[in-house]
Structure 1
Amino acid sequence: MRRRMVALATIVMVVLGLADSSPLQAQSFFAGKTVRIIVGLAPGGGFDTYARLVARHLGKHIPGSPAIIVDNMTGAGGLISANHLYRVARPDGLSLAHVPGTLLLGQVLGQPGIEFDARKFEYIGATVKEEVVCSLTKASGITSVEQLMSAKTPVKIGAVAPGAPTDNTPRILKAALGLPIQVVTGYKGTAEIRLAAESGEVAGACWAWESMRATWRKSLDAGEAIPILQVTSKPLPGLSRVPLAIDLAKTDEARRLIQVGIQDGSAYSRPFMAPPGTPKERVQILRKAFQETLNDKALLAEAEKAKLTLDPVAGEDLQKLVTDLFTLDPAFVEKLKAVLYK
């Protein structure tokens, strides 16, 4: 009996020791280290703005309080940084990337240059669901979607690169609605696109309203930049008079292009992710810290002041959404591929 009690006590102590060791091990691993967030687009744009907001608060929610830095690795609309995370970054929990989720769909569509398998990334979470709005400058002379539709010459829309939301959105709208659009690609991010629009190089662009209203706020408030079309399932707050793109579609195929190619990507459009092979316990620690960060009072106050919307998506949910992308109908995949890359 005594031996049995001693054995039982030993087992209990071992179990408790293992339970207690996890946070201690995490603290000892992250303490004194630096977590690097690689942003696939240029400084001053929406991805950069959200990444830096998270970076200022994330460290205190990770055991060991590591330093957090943001590193912009631009090129090909975020593709360079996504490939880097997959092929080069060490899977140790100290490397994250924040890139356009449209690249994940890009793999399904056979986008050239992709060297990753989106299903193998470890998804940490997303700060917001992306709701896309197209805005043009008052100086362009196009202040409504009706004027855009009746334009006699193609209207120049700024974009980053194939696979980026700024590029995919106008290409899909051109195909689905017959809009007279010329996509001008090659900008490093929305910060450069804003400057190009204000100088008259392009008429405007389409990207996340959450980002646009924060980073282009002065022009929007002054009426110098005007939202003319929202690519959303329902009107966004403050945009009740701006038409929905899907309501202008005249065929089922056109509606599906808008729905699948743009709107369905809302939840996975702004992922934070880690390399494949990152230890599961560190992935869970980062996921928990990410969610805690987005509920941090200091972060919430900062976001409100900057007019940055927060609508978090859990890492586990992102993982499932990405997996589901690979179940799209092959015939529709070919149609969408033709719209975006040919």
Structure 2
Amino acid sequence: MKEEGMRKRVFFATICAFIFLFSVSLDAATYYEGKTIRIVVGLSAGGGYDLWARTIARHLGKFIPGNPTVIVENMPGAGSIVAANYIYKAAKPDGLTIGHISGNIFFNQLFGQKGIEFDARHFEYIGAPYQDEQVIFIKRGRGVSTLDEWFKAKKPLRFGGQAPGSTFSDNAPRVLREALGLPIKTISGYKGTAEVKLAMEQGEVDGNSLSWTSGKAVWAKELKTGDIIPILQIVPKPIPEIAHVPKAINYAKTPRAKKLIELVVHDPAKYARPFMLPPKTPREQVHILREAFHKLLSDREFIAEATKARLEIKPATGEELKQAIEDLFALSPAEVESLKELLLK
């Protein structure tokens, strides 16, 4: 009798578990059906962040139960701090608003800068499609065409960015000036890559630090004609397509110089392009969107469009992003103060 009773309890428990899982599956399908997901991009239209968001938006919905519509909204300002504040404070944690910002603004939080209304450690991270490989691009005809010429230049090259401490466009030139002694002047205040590109064409600035995948998309024609020159790559391993271009770390003459390049450019590459949700988004929605994002990045149609747009897929998971950000906030007070003085001046 006892054995028979045990069998009945096991059978009943199995049925209950099946019903629960089936109901969760149905809830997931019905939750997103007929709804619209917004991807809020913290930088202006026409740049690399915008291109990633729009390419992803065209394919993401088919991997989400209920097949919701996915749209993109640009919310530029302060290097994407405006958008990050919005995602953190104003967006509903309902799985219908995804943020895509420059992860470099997490330095601004680390430094205790005014205007930061978010805590990077509390976002729910979906993942990143690409781990940045930073390259310095300069405009032809500005007196410099090789790294040796740049080191010897009497006039500094002007680099456009968004806001001090907020993007690689702002941070990388400052690090190169400090670590390598390259003559550089930084000019912030542009809303995004598209505006910096226009400034380069109009002669306001001479160069820009961009990821290789963004640079070859934004400057596709100019790279072919030689009007834009990739003069330096700030990566731990050479980018195969431009293996001949010098690596910044090889020109760092002191341990401190090498450490600066690693802390500010190499390490943040993983979380530079995060897609994330507001804090307290229900676990079910976080799981659904992480799964959809993962499936998307291996989808043939998506890969074909990304390849056509010259976007390279080199993903990081939501869990990997969260850990990398935890590591950033584990820096010592002395390291934080040193970086703050460098990046915000």
**TM-score bracket for the superposition, by shorter chain length:** over 0.9
User: Structure 1 residues 7 and 202, CA, compared in 2 at 3 Å: closer, same or farther?
Assistant: same
User: 1:170-194 deviations in whole A, cap 9, x for unaligned?
Assistant: 1111111112111111111111111
**1:289-300 paired onto structure 2 within 5 Å:** 289-300=292-303
CA–CA distance in 2 between the matches of 1:234 and 1:179? 21
Partner secondary structure for residue 242 of structure 2: coil
User: What is the CA distance between 1:111 and its match in structure 2?
Assistant: 3.2
Equivalences, count: 342
CA–CA distance in 1 between the matches of 2:327 and 2:82? 24
Q: Which of 109, 123, 126 matches 1:124?
A: 126
User: What is the CA distance between 1:4 and its match in structure 2?
Assistant: 5.5
The answer as to 2:207 corresponding to 1:229 is no
The answer as to 2:313 corresponding to 1:310 is yes
CA–CA distance in 1 between the matches of 2:160 and 2:224? 21
User: What is the CA distance between 1:3 and its match in structure 2?
Assistant: 6.0
User: 1:264-322 deviations in whole A, cap 9, x for unaligned?
Assistant: 11111110000000001110110000010111111011111121100111111111111
Partner secondary structure for residue 267 of structure 1: helix
User: What is the CA distance between 1:154 and its match in structure 2?
Assistant: 2.1
**1:130-279 paired onto structure 2 within 5 Å:** 130-162=132-164, 163-279=166-282
CA–CA distance in 1 between the matches of 2:14 and 2:44? 53
CA–CA distance in 1 between the matches of 2:342 and 2:140? 29
Instruction: Kindly indicate whether the alpha-carbon contact (under 8 Å) linking 1:83 and 1:114 is maintained by their aligned counterparts in 2.
Output: yes
Instruction: Kindly indicate whether the alpha-carbon contact (under 8 Å) linking 1:110 and 1:337 is maintained by their aligned counterparts in 2.
Output: no
Q: Which of 23, 26, 42 matches 1:24?
A: 26
User: 1:78-98 deviations in whole A, cap 9, x for unaligned?
Assistant: 000001000100001011100
Q: Which blocks of at least 5 consecutive residues in structure 2 are unaligned?
A: none
Q: Which blocks of at least 5 consecutive residues in structure 1 are unaligned?
A: none
Partner secondary structure for residue 281 of structure 2: coil
Superposed structure 1 runs of 4+ greater than 6 Å apart: none
Query: Which letter does structure 1 place at the counterpart of 2:57?
Result: A
Cα RMSD of the aligned pairs, angstroms, is: 1.3
CA–CA distance in 2 between the matches of 1:240 and 1:3? 70
Partner secondary structure for residue 327 of structure 1: coil
Instruction: Kindly indicate whether the alpha-carbon contact (under 8 Å) linking 1:37 and 1:96 is maintained by their aligned counterparts in 2.
Output: yes
Query: Which letter does structure 2 place at the counterpart of 1:155?
Result: L
Partner of 1:281: 284
User: Structure 1 residues 241 and 4, CA, compared in 2 at 3 Å: closer, same or farther?
Assistant: closer
User: What is the CA distance between 1:6 and its match in structure 2?
Assistant: 4.6
Higher mean C-alpha displacement, 108-117 vs 90-99 = 108-117
Q: Which of 96, 99, 102 matches 1:100?
A: 102
Identity within the alignment, %: 47
Instruction: Kindly indicate whether the alpha-carbon contact (under 8 Å) linking 1:36 and 1:69 is maintained by their aligned counterparts in 2.
Output: yes
User: What is the CA distance between 1:9 and its match in structure 2?
Assistant: 3.2
User: What is the CA distance between 1:5 and its match in structure 2?
Assistant: 5.0
Query: Which letter does structure 2 place at the counterpart of 1:304?
Result: T
Partner of 2:53: 51
Q: Which of 83, 86, 94 matches 1:84?
A: 86
User: 1:55-79 deviations in whole A, cap 9, x for unaligned?
Assistant: 0000000011111000000000100
Partner secondary structure for residue 124 of structure 1: strand
Q: Which of 5, 10, 13 matches 1:11?
A: 13
CA–CA distance in 2 between the matches of 1:196 and 1:190? 10
Partner of 2:344: 341
